[in-house]
Structure 1
């Protein structure tokens, strides 16, 4: 596999991938997720991904509502595979890495593996559009998205690089805001499973509007 890999379709990705269950973590195609890896099983996962040459990790959320085993929680059926595009050693046994999203997947089954980390057989074909950059972004209501972002920043006394926001394409803007949003696993999963970018933006707007309404009526303090 070349250092700079480009994936043009589902057939270019392996059917079995290591998965990293992490609640509240949302990775989307072409999005960048920083990770601080310190558990021995996930250090081994990173080492093996380089040894195997693919540098791929499937990000997926544990499904708390269906989990009976805390040591091995049930998983949601949809995740997103990413490629390690940056990696640094911390000097104290940790890896600091950046994962760049490639495509979402559906879990077919979890396989019995001898590795300390979990592995799943997955299917990328339901999300074939993920391989096309900026697919459907013309349908996004950018004005509504920026309006709710402005309200969110004001209520929570936060600032943002508006120059960067205004220059970002719709896909990058929607996905970055979704990934950085402070919402819980159900909301993150809904945004992950959205059938298209327009729907993902609509979910993000709706969830944010509900959060803002709750803060205004309850007098909750702003985020710190």
Structure 2
């Protein structure tokens, strides 16, 4: 178990091995970054269930280590957070700090997990359709050189889905399950845009 200072931010997800740039301007989170820099440089990214003050948290987030930091003259920070491990919230702690803290179980990742060739091919095919439909410009040669974990987690982190959908991706226990869910979401998103020309996709 671990005590984790958390940054609840809807729509912002972090995965192990990936990076997330953040601009820190609220006083409570400036205090959190200062505290983390004085200790182990680690904070937890997690989504609130609702985008409101003190909202309950989703069950799973990701612990990140501050890799790069730029301290601005007015007390704000620009940081780059690198994901280390997903965590499951056991309980929120009663604290005197201006930022929230939780007791969490750190989740071990299966680093040996790989996709079957047919899973990888299916994902890349659907990703091309999705990117073309959204007008994204992708270097597919570069994509083909990524390993399965980097590819699936990378797309999951930046995908233009809503908070509930992105949370479901984060909570997927294996790369294979996450890949299958990504394909379903891309298909659903594409069908929805075709049907009513609306942006966004939801699992709610």
TM-score, structure 2 as length reference? 0.91
The residue that corresponds to 2:114 in the other structure is 137
The residue that corresponds to 1:83 in the other structure is 65
Question: How far apart are the structure 2 equivalents of 1:214 and 1:92?
Answer: 44
Match of 2:90 among 90, 108, 126: 108
The residue that corresponds to 1:7 in the other structure is none
The residue that corresponds to 2:7 in the other structure is 20
Q: How large is the Cα RMSD of the aligned pairs?
A: 1.9
Structure 1 runs, 4 residues or longer, greater than 6 Å off:
none
Matched residue pairs, number?
199
| 1:119–1:219 Cα change, 3 Å | closer
The residue that corresponds to 2:49 in the other structure is 63
| 1:189–1:90 Cα change, 3 Å | same
TM-score, structure 1 as length reference? 0.83
Question: How far apart are the structure 2 equivalents of 1:136 and 1:203?
Answer: 16
Question: How far apart are the structure 2 equivalents of 1:162 and 1:89?
Answer: 36
Is this contact kept in 1: 2:22–2:81, CA < 8 A?
yes
The residue that corresponds to 1:183 in the other structure is 161
| 1:152–1:90 Cα change, 3 Å | farther
Question: How far apart are the structure 2 equivalents of 1:155 and 1:220?
Answer: 13
Which secondary structure state, in structure 1, belongs to the residue aligned with residue 130 of structure 2? Answer: helix
**1:163 CA displacement:** 2.6
Q: Are 1:161 and 2:146 counterparts?
A: no
Question: How far apart are the structure 2 equivalents of 1:94 and 1:147?
Answer: 42
Is this contact kept in 1: 2:49–2:56, CA < 8 A?
yes
Question: How far apart are the structure 2 equivalents of 1:189 and 1:146?
Answer: 22
**1:217 CA displacement:** 2.2
Question: How far apart are the structure 2 equivalents of 1:31 and 1:196?
Answer: 16
Which secondary structure state, in structure 1, belongs to the residue aligned with residue 57 of structure 2? Answer: coil
Q: Which runs of 5+ in 2 are unaligned?
A: none
**1:144 CA displacement:** 1.2
Q: Are 1:97 and 2:83 counterparts?
A: no
Which secondary structure state, in structure 2, belongs to the residue aligned with residue 138 of structure 1? Answer: coil
Which secondary structure state, in structure 1, belongs to the residue aligned with residue 62 of structure 2? Answer: strand
Question: How far apart are the structure 1 equivalents of 2:18 and 2:116?
Answer: 19
Is this contact kept in 1: 2:8–2:45, CA < 8 A?
yes
Which secondary structure state, in structure 1, belongs to the residue aligned with residue 87 of structure 2? Answer: strand
**1:94 CA displacement:** 2.3
